[in-house]
Structure 1
Amino acid sequence: MENRLLCIVLAIVMVSPLSALADDSSSSGQVVRDADPGSVLDPQIERRRVREADIDTENFEIGTYAGILSIEDFGAQPVVGARLDYHLSEDVFLEAVIGHAKADETSFEALSAGVQLLTDDEREYTYYQALVGYNLLPGEAFLSRNRTYNNALYLLGGAGMTEFAGDDHFTLGLGVGYRLLINDWLTVRVDMKDNIFNLDVLGEDKMTHNLELTAGVGLFF
């Protein structure tokens, strides 16, 4: 009798933890439930569509420009010119340029009444240059909400000849510029360049720096 009672007690002790574990499992199942779909964040991102102006398939670009040319010792004068470019790649282009201005009197001539260092014909300033350009920072410009424009900051370097003061002078041209493509055939450019050559007008041969700031348009064809 005592052995039977002992077996019943042991059976009750062994069954009690299992029933407690089952109750915990059932209670845990009641806590876990599917998330409410309305509580999940669902961001609505509206993609902005833009129209991009690409360079046309043609590699030639022709353009005109106007601006100011500071002729050393002869003051700053209006300058006009034309250019022809050939784009070898997206980064490199070749440029042939011709420009014209007319020099003013020097300060020495202005202070010395009647003294003329140059004739009117000798004051004509004309240059011809062949340059190489490199697009240093090509990119895009967002000038409106729905349209983007290709643009580039580029470097220029080359050489040519300058007709001035009754002589031809070998000239180095170094500069920097900015190009903005309005569409696939029209560009707007701003250039700043230094035209460097030796000049002997005031009694000594010296290297002159003739700074030029211009703006113009170009057409691809």
Structure 2
Amino acid sequence: MLRWTRIQRLLPVTLGLLLFQSANSFAQTSPDVTIIEPSKKVDTVKYAALDDEQFEFGISVGSLSIEDFGNSAVTTFKFAYHVTPKWMTQFEYGRSEVGVASFEEVVNNRFLSDEDRRFTYTNLTLGYRALYGRSFFGGKNRFNSNIYLNAGVENIDFAGQSNTGLVIGTTYKTVLTDWLTLNLDLKNHIFEREFLNDEKLTQNIEFGVGAMIMF
């Protein structure tokens, strides 16, 4: 009984020594392990370098919906100054020729002269870059793009009157090259207008597409 107990005690030690000797022999006879590293390194991503142009000048064309007078073509000249990467100021001059309103056709009478049908505005706005990213045209063309929120004051000449109002809107600006941008503008010209003894606050929506040169 004592011998069997001794065998049970010596058996784990014997097995451990055998395993250690086998592992040591395998390590001496096996070849060295060589780690193969790829020769090609992944290129570091490089962002497009943009020039430091702060000024823009350009033109846009579009449609102006004048309350009570329908839609008319509008042309706008712009000058912008980028104060910081996120803020810019912009000066605009726009001009449109208003057609005959539907109520004038109903009564068969023109209430405005040709000169009074000229709708012109000048404004000064402050723009904030709310979003920025990239626009994709096709599979290979990628352009830096920004969305600006704009607000400011303006002077409007229409129907023989000169009024001060507000202008609010947004601009989707795509940088085509380091000197040219493509712009989509949506604006609302808000001002009080008196016409035929009726004074009211009018909303006049404008949509335009244009290009601006950076310098």
Q: CA 1:202 to 1:50, structure 2 compared with 1: closer, same or farther past 3 Å?
A: farther
Alignment of structure 1 residues 32-111 onto 2, 5 Å? 52=48, 54=50, 56-111=51-106
Whole-Å separation in 2 of the counterparts to 1:95 and 1:89: 13
Q: CA 1:125 to 1:16, structure 2 compared with 1: closer, same or farther past 3 Å?
A: closer
Residue of structure 2 equivalent to 1:6: none
8 Å Cα contact 1:122/1:166 also seen in 2? yes
Q: 1:180 aligns with which of 146, 159, 174?
A: 174
Give the residue type in structure 2 aligned to 1:163: D
Of structures 1 and 2, the larger Rg is shown by 1
Give the match's secondary structure for 2:48: strand
Give the match's secondary structure for 1:73: coil
Residue of structure 2 equivalent to 1:153: 147
Gaps of 5+ in 1: 1-8
Task: Say yes or no: does 1:168 pair with 2:162.
Answer: yes
Q: CA 1:26 to 1:71, structure 2 compared with 1: closer, same or farther past 3 Å?
A: same
Q: CA 1:186 to 1:29, structure 2 compared with 1: closer, same or farther past 3 Å?
A: same
Q: CA 1:164 to 1:16, structure 2 compared with 1: closer, same or farther past 3 Å?
A: closer
Give the residue type in structure 2 aligned to 1:191: D
- 1:140 deviation in Å? 2.6
Give the match's secondary structure for 1:52: coil
Deviations 1:184-208 (A, max 9, x none): 1110000000001111114310011
Give the residue type in structure 2 aligned to 1:123: R
Give the match's secondary structure for 1:141: strand
Residue of structure 1 equivalent to 2:18: 23
Calculate the TM-score normalised by the size of structure 2: 0.83
- 1:117 deviation in Å? 1.0
Whole-Å separation in 2 of the counterparts to 1:147 and 1:49: 17
Residues matched between the structures, number: 209
Whole-Å separation in 2 of the counterparts to 1:26 and 1:145: 63
- 1:160 deviation in Å? 1.3
Whole-Å separation in 2 of the counterparts to 1:200 and 1:107: 18
Whole-Å separation in 1 of the counterparts to 2:17 and 2:46: 62
